[in-house]
Structure 1
C-alpha cells in the first residue's frame, strides 16, 4: 500500500527531505506545497499532513477543509499555543529545530500502525454491514464466547446485546441443544471440514426446537469462527414424519417390520431368538364382526403382549403386517424365552376381548427360532407355518423342517437354469414406462425370463433366488445386460436393467459393464436399477459403484423404494436419478390410507431432492389417476402393458387411442 504525505512549508526547509526519507521509508509519496491553498484540490488524498507553520488560526483553517481523517504533524516552537491543544485535537507535534530523523519515525509509526488499524476498522465495519444484511442467523465466536451476532441471530435467541447473549450462554456449547444427529461441541464444529461432512445443530427458541445446518468460516488472523446457520427445521420435521410413516404400524403404533430390518441393518440389533405370533383364523373375525372390531382386537393384542414383556429389557415387540406380531430377544435364555412366549399365548387365550356387545375369544400360534445358520425371521416363519399345520400352540424351528423340500426345489431349478444357459434360453422381456404427463412410452424396464423346454415362458419368481444360492445370479445378470444393450443400441428409448448388491460386490462386474458400454453405444440411455435391501453390508462400496456408473454417463434408480428396507440417510449420499416406488404401496394406494400417505411423502421427498419417481404396479385407471395427481413422473404396470417380447410403442399407442 502507498501513502500520500503532503508537506506545507513556507520556510523552504523540506527541499532535502524527499531525498532523505526515500532511503528510510518505503511506499510513501511526498508532495511539497508552499501554502494550504495550493493543496485544497488534492486534500482528499492525503494520509499524513505535515505543517511547518506555527499558527492556531492556520490549524483551524486546515481542519475546516479536511474531509477525511489524516494524521497531522505540526512543527512548532517551544512556546507555541498549538502545544496546548495538541492532546484535545489529536494533534501530533515536533519542536524546532527540525529533526528529519524524528519526523521520519513519526511517518513510519503511522504507516505501520495507525493506518492499518483504521483500515481494519473500516473492513470490520464493512463486513458487519454485509453480515447484517444476510437473511441467515450469523454469529462469530472465539474458543469460549460470542464476539459478534447479526440481527437475525439476536431475534433467534431473543437477546438484544452481546452482553445478554454471553450471560444467557455461559459457553458457546450452551447455545446448542442435545438432539440425535446434532452436534453441541464447538471444537468439533471448529475442526470439522464441512465439505466432508455436513453438521447439524439444534437451537431452542421459546418452547420450540429449530434445526440448522452450519456453514463455517475460519478467520486465521484472530483464530475465530464465523458460523452461518441455515434453517432446515422443515426438512428435519418432514424426514421425522416420513420416518414415523415408514417405521411405525399405522394401527397399533408399535414399530413395524421395516423398523426391525432397520434395527438389524443399521442399529446393531443382535438377535438371539425371534418369535412370530399369529392370530388363528383372524380372517373369520374380520368377515363376521367387521374390520372395526378386527382393528380393535389387533390393538388390544399388541397391548397385552407389550404388557407381558415390559419388565424384560432384552425383549422388544414389533407389529408385522396383518395379524402377525414379532417378539425379538437379544439376551434372554432359551428356556425363559420359550416360557414367556407360552405365557403370552395362554394370556391371549384366557382373555375375553369385548367390543360393544361382542365377546370374542382369540387364540394365537407361535413359531420360535434360535437358528444360527439361517435367517431367524425366515426360520421363525417356517416354525409358525408348521405349528399351524400340526395344530400346535408353538413350535421351535429345527433344521430338518425345510431341508428336504428346499433341496428338492433347488435341484429342480438349478437343472433348469443350467439347461437354459446351455441352450441360450434366457431371454429379456420389456415392460413400458409411461410418462404421466404426455402418456407416451419414454422408457422400458428389461426383465429376465426363462424359456422352458416346451417353450413356456417362466417368471423369475421361480428361479431368481435359486440362481443366487447356486452362484449363477451374476451370470444371469450379465446375460440380461448384454441382450438389453444389444436390443436398445438402435432404439431411441431409455431403458433400465436390474442389478443387486451381490453383483456390485463382484470385483469384475464393473469391468464387465465398461466392456459392454464400449461394445454398445447406450451409455446415455441405460439406467441401472439397484435394490436397496438388507443384504447391503457396505454402503461405501455401493456409493462408490454409483459414482463410477454416473461418471460413465449412465443413470441410476433405487428399486422398490418404500418396501421397508429403504434408508433415507444413505439415499441422501447417493447420486441417483430415479426412485421406483414399491409395488406393495402402489397396488394398495386406492384402498389403504397409509399406503397413500407414504407414497405422497416419498414423491414430495423425491421432488425436494430433484429425483424423478416411477410408480410400479399401476394395474388400473384408478391407481394411475391417483399417482399422477400425487405428482409421480412415470407409471409402470399392467394397466398399460404386461412385459412384452419386443419393445413396441405402436401397440401401446393403438391401445391408448381406443
Structure 2
C-alpha cells in the first residue's frame, strides 16, 4: 500500500486546523463541536465501516486502517485518488461518488451536505469478484461554494445486495427451474409478436404439461415432485435451440416460444420433447419416476397477435389433449362451438351473480308423497332463478354452469336461508334441500346451518339434506364425518340420484344415511322395461336390508304409482303429484289422486 494514505491515530490531531477535522453537527449544551476523525474511525471500524477523507482539490483520498477489509478482491493502491478510485468501480453503476458530490445541486450553508449512494467495486482482471458498497458521507464547500472536501464511511453490503438481487430475480424467474416465470414469459411473448412483422418469420407458442404430477406428488411426496419438475425442465431445456425461450408457466406446465417455426413443423418439436421425457424414466435422488407429457400449440400470428389470447388458446388446446386420452399433442384451431360455450358461461354466471344480489333466487316446493297413504310427507325445495322480466330461467341452462364455475355453493347458501325461514314460519312442514359437492367442502355452509339450528332441534328434525351419490362417494371418510355432523343437528340425510353412480353394497353399508332416492331415469321407463323395474326392485330391497327409506323420483303416470307401491317403495315424487309450487299444499289434498290407483293386490289406507 505504498500510494494509499491510511488514517492513523494522529490523523485527527488536536493541533490540526478545524477545516482538517470532520465537522460533526452535534449540539452539546447548545454549542457545536468538532469530532476528531480518529475517534470516528475507531467507532466505525469496530462495526466494519471503512472511514475516508477526500480532498477534492488535490483528489487525494485517505482511509482508516481497516481498508484491508476489501483488499482480497480490490487493488486498494488504486484507491488513493478520485481518478484511480473510479477505475475499481464498475462502469455499470448508475451513479458514482464523484458525480454525486461534484454535481450536487444542493448548497453547503456551513454544516456540509449529506450524500448517500451504493455501487459495486470489482477487480479489473476478474469482474466476477468484488464488493457491493454502501457509501454515506458529507461534503463541505470551499470559499467559492463548490465542494472542497468530503468525509464518509464505506460499508460492505454484499449479503444485503445478494438478497435484493435474488428478490429482483425471483420477481421475473421461477426459483425451482431458473426459467422466466409466467409474467415474464408473457412479456417476452409480447416483444416476440411485435418483432414478427419486421422479421417476417412465423413463431409458435407451445404449452407443455406434466400429465401425472398430482399422482407423483401423492405417491412420492412434494420433494420428489419438485425434483421431477426440475429434471423435466432440464431435459426440455437441453433440446431447445438458443433462439427459443422456455418459461415456467404454472405448477406442472412449461411455456416455450419457438422462433422461426412454421405451423407444419410445430409437431416435430413437440413430439421430440414429449418422447424425450416419456421414453426414459426420470431418475431422482431416491426414485426412478415415469413421467408423461402433453402439449398444446398455437401458431403465431395466424390465430392472434395478442399474447394473452395466444396463452389462453394454448391452455385450451392442452386441455383438449388431456381430455382425449389417446392424444398427447394438438395444434389450436378456432371453434365456434367452443366460443359459444364460453360466451354462455360468461352470460349465465353474470345472470346468477346478479340474481343473487337482486334477490331473484327463489324456491318452489315439490311434494314427496307417502306411497301407502297418499299424504304429503315433505317437500323438496327446488331452486328457481327469475330474469329481470320476472320469467323463470330454465334450470338446465343454469345448474351445469353454476357447478362448473363453483357458483352452486352461493345458490345453496341462498336456498338454505329460504328453507330455514320457511321451517320457522310453518312449524308442521318438513323440507328437503339439495347441496352440491363444492358446498360439502365449504365449511361456511355447515357453520351457517349450525348457527341457525344448533339449539333448535325441532327445526333440524324437519330438514332433510340431499346429496348426490357421486358426491358422497368422493371421500368416504370426510363424507361420514359430514353426515354425522348433520345427524347431530337432528337432520336426515338422503342419497339423491341413487343408482346413477357406483354405490356398492359395501358403500351403502358404510354410509349412515336415512333415505335413498332412486334415480328417476329408472322410474320413467319402468313401464317399458322389465330390466328397469328389476333394478328398482333390487335397489329397494338393498336399501330395506339396511333399514333405509326409499323414494322413487320422476313418477309421472298412474301405472308407475301402482307398480312402485307393489314393489314397496316408501315415498313417491314427480310430476304426477306436482312439478313445484310457490305455496305449500294441504297434507290431505292428494288423497283424491289415489282413487284410481287402488289395486286388488294393494290395500290403500284412507288419506288423512
Query: Which has the higher relative contact order, 1 or 2, with Cα contacts under 8 A spaced 6 or more apart?
Result: 2
- Fold equivalence (TM over 0.5): no
| TM-score normalized with structure 2 length | 0.43
